[in-house]
Amino acid sequence: MKQKLSIVKIGGNLIEDAQGFEHVLGLFSKMDGNKILVHGGGKKATELGNKLGIESQMVNGRRITDPETLDIAVMVYGGLVSKKIVAKLQALGTDAIGMSGADGNTIQAHKRPIKKVDFGLVGDVDKVNAYAIFKLLQAGFTPIFCALTHDGRGQLLNTNADTIAAELAIAMSDQFETTLYYCFEKKGVLQDVEDENSVIKQIDSKTYDELLAYGIIADGMLPKLHNCFYALRNHVSKVCVGNSEMLDQSNVEYTTLTL
């Protein structure tokens, strides 16, 4: 029987909320078994860019990344956010190790080809080195991945953290029975984004199409759900979307995705 693995992605709004940040890391540190954390930090990158006079430009939930913006992404995702998370998890007794896709050659990508939009230094994932990650888990480390990949020729690339989480979950699913948790500030995918009590408990491919057609899913939820179904179609056992409480295995409401 395969061992279990939990992959938890935490979003930018959670990271920016001091209380929410402590809470989610506390719950993550208590999770049993093999686990990996993936974090964004898009909000912080936008904030730092503004302070430096470099305006952010997002298209379809993805950041247009020129060389200066990439430097900000590296500083914020690979530096500030990663190291804060690692230090907090160490204090909670979790032996965390901060990773970009360049570290241990764990995630190789290529620069997204220019079609309608030139996203600049944004990476589409080619290859995850599942063996290197397996070795880290086996050695007792908890890998903490940020939203950076590399092209194997010395170029770092900015890759959406939701995508990194899905690609990791898919690659690790050969070896593990993997559950992918997309953890953000709301209770789940909501029927009405203004009403926290309108959690849609289950979404299958058919409901997904309907929700898209009615415009119930918008903004950052579009790439998130796209990644959820991409993971499910590629042998990830379970995919959930919800707030931190979802990690507690308690009886809270959240959204489960099925094919």
Ligand X SMILES: Nc1ncnc2c1ncn2[C@@H]1O[C@H](COP(=O)(O)OP(=O)(O)O)[C@@H](O)[C@H]1O
The residues binding ligand X2W (CB under 6 A) are 11-12, 40-43, 45, 62-63, 73, 122, 147, 158-161
Q: In 3D, which of 248, 175, 246 has the Cα closest to residue 257?
A: 246
Q: How far apart are CA 14 and CA 186, in angstroms?
A: 10
Specify the residue for token string 């936008």: 46
Q: Residue from 90, 186, 252, 253 that binds ligand X (CB under 6 A)?
A: 186
- Asked if residue 112 belongs to a known ligand binding site, the reply is no
- Asked if residue 158 belongs to a known ligand binding site, the reply is yes
Q: Footprint of ligand X on residues 33-72 (CB under 6 A)?
A: 40
Q: How far is the CB of 12 from ligand X (least distance, A)?
A: 5
Q: Which helix (H) or strand (E) holds 177?
A: strand 176-183
> 41 near 146, Cβ under 8 Å?
yes
Q: How far apart are CA 73 and CA 213, in angstroms?
A: 33
Triad 132, 71, 104: Cα angle to 5° = 10
Lay out the site mask for ligand X across 202-231 (x = CB under 6 A, - = otherwise).
--------------xxxxxx--x-------
Residue 217 binding result from ligand X2W, ligand X, none, given CB thresholds of 5 to 8 Å by partner type? ligand X
Q: Which helix (H) or strand (E) holds 123?
A: strand 123-128
Closest CB to ligand X2W among residues 42, 98: 42
Closest CB to ligand X among residues 11, 120: 11
Reduce the DSSP state of residue 32 to 3 states and report it: coil
Residue 216 binding result from ligand X, ligand X2W, none, given CB thresholds of 5 to 8 Å by partner type? ligand X
> Which residues of this chain interact with ligand X, rule CB under 6 A?
11-13, 40, 184, 186, 189-190, 193, 216-221, 224
